[in-house]
């Protein structure tokens, strides 16, 4: 993925927030871009989330300033001040207004962002900007991610979407630091020409079907954000449906990369629930299965333990007739009409579960409602990382 | 705990459902007893749960027939038949009607209860009945529990409550068997004289404040039941409030024993949430914290990681002002007015977290609503047990 996207430049540098690695990222549009965003619904929200949400209301932004190593969450007034100061310093170096800069942070919670350090590196960060700098940008926002997450998809009829993300589902602590913390960040850049409302709608739709349908551990962060900027470098208005399709495709690729990169994760499963009256009901069942600790540990052990899947569906709060339920793993049916099909069927399912990626299909009736959720296994490595043994 | 309870006899024998251990339990009242029950709200329910719920509607029962090694869940018509047949066999041996026998099962899901084996052992089970047989009863219903769970509390004004339970929260799989499964069973016996509605109300109240406020892994079983039988051997009507108090005290002791016995659990925390407008809101916050995989792994690592506690509260769906939140661990305050109090405060909290049992107090305002939830840490041993590596 060596191509950038017309109308944007990117950089990523080591500013010393974290020890000897890239930790500060900047994306800049050639001119003010159309901007949309979605933000964590967690009531406890970091300073950069509050500031970005307020600034994006104008429908415009020209830059994104992101850092790893410090979430600047639960830091009160000093934290708010630090976010305002650091975006102001970078705005000055870019000769734009601070309100044009959207902040995003990930890393240690409870510690104030070192705004002075960022101000000292603002000129260097701007000097490093390049149309091909998205690789450095992607590296600089990682915490304990095992790999950078970049995706690029063409929009039917012209233009394209470039997406850059970090995180392993909702949670990705940084073991080396004093206060492990979790965040999902995603930044989408397109050269399409699009109105603000169309971009916002397309983004909400794309995020709902992708990021809001994956889980590593069910814990929602205080810092999660998705921003979308449109430069309009590709002239001629974009088809809204084509834009939504492309955004969704990029988000899906990035969301799946996060689950694959989930702490200690060895396997990814797509939970497909069907046959209910509404898609919302199907999603509630899929979410309950995807976040069940028992289902996730069974995945870890490659155990086609359908009783756990069935029981999770049963406690989801959604009504269905257990006697009409069927469960398949990778197309191998192990439960039909609510009854297990025996050891041979399970042995076939077990073979599928030994692979890196598979589907778990749960059919609960004949209704049209269907939904999907992507989850990963829960293993001892996850515990090792998250139990917070500090070095 | 060597005392039984007037008006009841108990037995526990090895019937061969499981290999060379007690697996079949019987409790019998000298005459039909007043009976109440609460049942799993999971939509997927085992045959014994359906049968017991129907039978208990009469307000009377004379016996409880419980087994480990087979949950008889997701077994359709043959499973229902097996529950009816096995209770009929034991009823015959007792010379009572089958409708007077309440069944309960725990163990392998998806396999039909071996009714013939139980019928073959019915005479032996009845012959073993004794007023002091509750120890054998308690042993016979265990699956991977590390210890039997029995509690006895006097009722103010006379009479007493004896409680026998199994389980480690909602989940307790049996690793040695082909289909690990999870169940909480609790049987309460009192010699009090009490009307059916009073007993049922007291039971609902007691279960809500205790069993419904503990969690090992958030997964609700298909087989969970709590039965209460009152023999009336202690004459003179019981005070309803005194009965509720005693039932609650027994259930609390047993519920805490389940969490302490949670798979791989090393530490137990009582989450106390206060300061919200209603107790229901406080309970929703406490439940979210108690089931957070991140909070539970931090407990495992003795890490006073208040950001995870704070973030879990924030995603609970309950509104509060983060700037007024405070968090203490074992009385050591680490967050005040939404801000961390620093490394020294955390060091004090860390010492508390190295002990086996402590409280996590989360105050979110000045309202009267308060609630508690008991949870345990989540460690690698839990994963080892539940990933289902089979021998």
Residue-wise pLDDT for B46-93, tens only, equals 999 999 999 999 999 999 999 999 999 999 999 999 999 999 999 999
- Tell me, yes or no, if A342 comes closer than 8 A to chain B by beta carbon: no
How many angstroms separate the CA of residue A386 from the nearest CA in chain B?
Answer: 6
B256 CB near a chain A CB, below 8 Å? no
Contact B158, B129 (CB under 8 A): no
Alpha carbon of A285: minimum distance to chain B alpha carbons (Å): 12
Q: B383 vs A387: CB contact, 8 Å cut-off?
A: no
Tell me the pLDDT tens digit for each residue of B359-389: 999 999 999 999 999 999 998 888 888 776 4
Q: Report chain B residues whose CB lies below 8 A from the CB of A41.
A: 315
> How many whole angstroms separate alpha carbon A98 and alpha carbon A48?
13
pLDDT at B330 over 90: yes
Check if A356 contacts B (Cβ < 8 Å): no
CB count within 10 Å of CB B270 equals 19
State residue B385's pLDDT score. Answer: 80
Q: Give Cβ neighbours of residue B95 (< 8 Å, ≥ 6 apart).
A: none
pLDDT digits (tens, 9 = 90+) for A98-152: 999 999 999 878 899 999 999 999 999 999 999 999 999 999 999 878 899 999 9
pLDDT for the residue B168: 66
Average the pLDDT over A231-250 and give the result: 94
A81 lies within 8 A of chain B by CB:
no
pLDDT of A389 above 50: no
Q: Which residues of A touch B338 (CB under 8 A)?
A: 74, 76
Instruction: Please give the full DSSP string across A337-382, using - where no structure is assigned.
Output: TTEE--HHHHHHHHHHHTSSEEEEEEE-SSEEEEEEEEEE---HHH
- Which stretches within A186-323 are classed as H helix? 196-209, 240-260, 279-290, 293-300, 306-314
- B382 contact A CB<8A: yes
Chain B hits for A306, Cβ within 8 Å? 110
Within 10 angstroms of residue A289's Cβ, the number of other Cβ atoms is 26
Q: Which of A87-101, B257-271, B325-339 has the lowest mean pLDDT?
A: B257-271
**How far is C-alpha B78 from the chain's CA centre?**
28
Do B297 and A388 count as a contact with CB atoms less than 8 A apart? yes
Report residue A252: phi and psi, to 5°: -65, -45
B306: CB partners within 8 A, 6+ apart: A110, B327, B334, B335, B340, B346
Which residues lie closer than 8 Å to B128 by C-beta, 6 or more apart? B11, B12, B13, B26, B136
Kindly state the average pLDDT of the residues A222-227. 90
Residue B270 banded pLDDT, cuts 50, 70, 90:
very high
pLDDT tens-digit series, residues B139-193: 999 987 889 999 999 999 889 999 999 986 444 332 222 333 447 899 999 999 9
Residue B309: the pLDDT is: 94
| CA dist list (Å): B367 to A259, B54, B277 | 39, 41, 5
In chain B, what residues touch A307 (CB-CB under 8 Å)? 71, 73-74, 109-110, 179, 181, 222
B218 at interface of A, judged by CB pairs closer than 8 A: yes
Q: What is the pLDDT of residues A152-188, one digit of tens each?
A: 999 998 899 999 999 864 443 222 223 334 478 999 9
Residues A70 and A104: beta-carbon distance below 8 Å: no
Q: CB A314 to CB B383 under 8 A?
A: no
Beta-carbon count within 10 A of B120 CB: 13
C-beta separation of A105 from A46 below 8 A: yes
Distance, CA of B124 to CA of B15 (rounded, Å): 9
- pLDDT tier, A388 (very low <50, low <70, confident <90, very high otherwise): low
Shortest distance between the Cα of B317 and any Cα of chain A, in A, equals: 8
pLDDT digits (tens, 9 = 90+) for A276-295: 999 999 999 999 999 998 89
pLDDT at A175: 25
* B189 contact A CB<8A: no
Looking at residue B20, its pLDDT comes to 84
Q: Which of A74, A218, A294 sits opposite B219 (nearest CB)?
A: A294
User: CA angle at residue B370 from B364 to B371, to 5 degrees?
Assistant: 115
What positions of B carry a catalytic annotation?
A: 183
Give how far the C-alpha of residue A277 lies from the chain's centroid of Cα atoms, to the nearest Å.
29
What gap in Å lies between CA A28 and CA A56, rounded to an integer? Answer: 15
CB of B62 closer than 8 Å to CB of B32? yes
Look at residue A215 in the predicted model and tell me its pLDDT.
80
- Whether B222 and A311 lie within 8 Å, measured CB to CB: yes
User: Which sequence positions of A are flagged as catalytic?
Assistant: 183
State the Cα–Cα distance between residues A136 and B194, nearest whole angstrom: 74
Phi, psi of B141 (to 5 degrees): -100, 0
Judge whether A105 and A67 are in contact, CB under 8 Å.
yes
Mean pLDDT in chain B?
A: 91
């Amino acid at each position: 993925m060596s191509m950038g996207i017309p109308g944007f430049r990117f950089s990523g540098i080591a500013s010393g927030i974290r020890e000897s690695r890239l930790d500060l990222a900047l994306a800049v549009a050639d001119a003010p871009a159309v901007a949309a965003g979605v933000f964590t619904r967690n009531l406890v929200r970091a300073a950069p989330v509050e500031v970005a949400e307020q600034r994006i209301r104008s429908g415009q932004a020209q830059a994104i300033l992101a850092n790893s190593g410090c979430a600047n969450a639960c830091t009160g007034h000093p934290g708010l001040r630090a976010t305002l100061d650091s975006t102001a310093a970078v705005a000055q170096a870019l000769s734009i207004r601070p309100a044009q800069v959207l902040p995003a942070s990930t890393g240690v919670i409870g510690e104030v962002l070192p705004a002075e350090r960022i101000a000292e590196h603002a000129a260097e960060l701007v000097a490093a900007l390049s149309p091909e700098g998205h690789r450095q940008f992607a590296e600089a926002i990682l915490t304990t991610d095992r790999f950078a997450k970049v995706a690029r998809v063409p929009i039917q009829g012209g233009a394209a979407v470039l997406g850059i993300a970090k995180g392993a589902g909702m949670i990705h602590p940084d073991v080396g630091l004093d206060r492990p913390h979790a965040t999902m960040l995603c930044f989408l850049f397109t050269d399409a020409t699009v109105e603000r409302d169309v971009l916002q709608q397309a983004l909400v739709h794309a995020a709902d079907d992708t990021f809001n349908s994956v889980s590593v551990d069910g814990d929602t962060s205080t810092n999660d954000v998705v921003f979308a900027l449109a430069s309009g470098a590709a002239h001629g208005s974009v088809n809204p449906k084509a834009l939504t399709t492309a955004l969704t495709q990029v988000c899906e690729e990035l969301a799946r990369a996060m689950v694959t990169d989930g702490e200690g994760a060895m396997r990814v499963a797509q939970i497909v629930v069907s046959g209910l009256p509404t898609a919302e009901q199907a999603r509630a069942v899929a979410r309950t299965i995807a976040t069940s600790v028992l289902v996730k540990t069974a995945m870890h052990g490659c155990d086609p333990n359908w009783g756990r899947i069935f029981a999770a569906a049963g406690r989801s709060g959604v009504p269905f007739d257990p006697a009409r339920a069927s469960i398949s793993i990778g197309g191998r049916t192990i439960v039909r009409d609510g009854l297990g099909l025996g050891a041979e069927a399970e042995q076939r399912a077990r073979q599928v579960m030994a692979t890196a990626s598979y589907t778990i299909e749960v059919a609960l009736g004949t209704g049209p409602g269907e939904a999907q959720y992507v989850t990963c296994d829960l293993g001892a490595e996850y515990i090792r990382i998250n139990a917070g043994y500090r070095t």
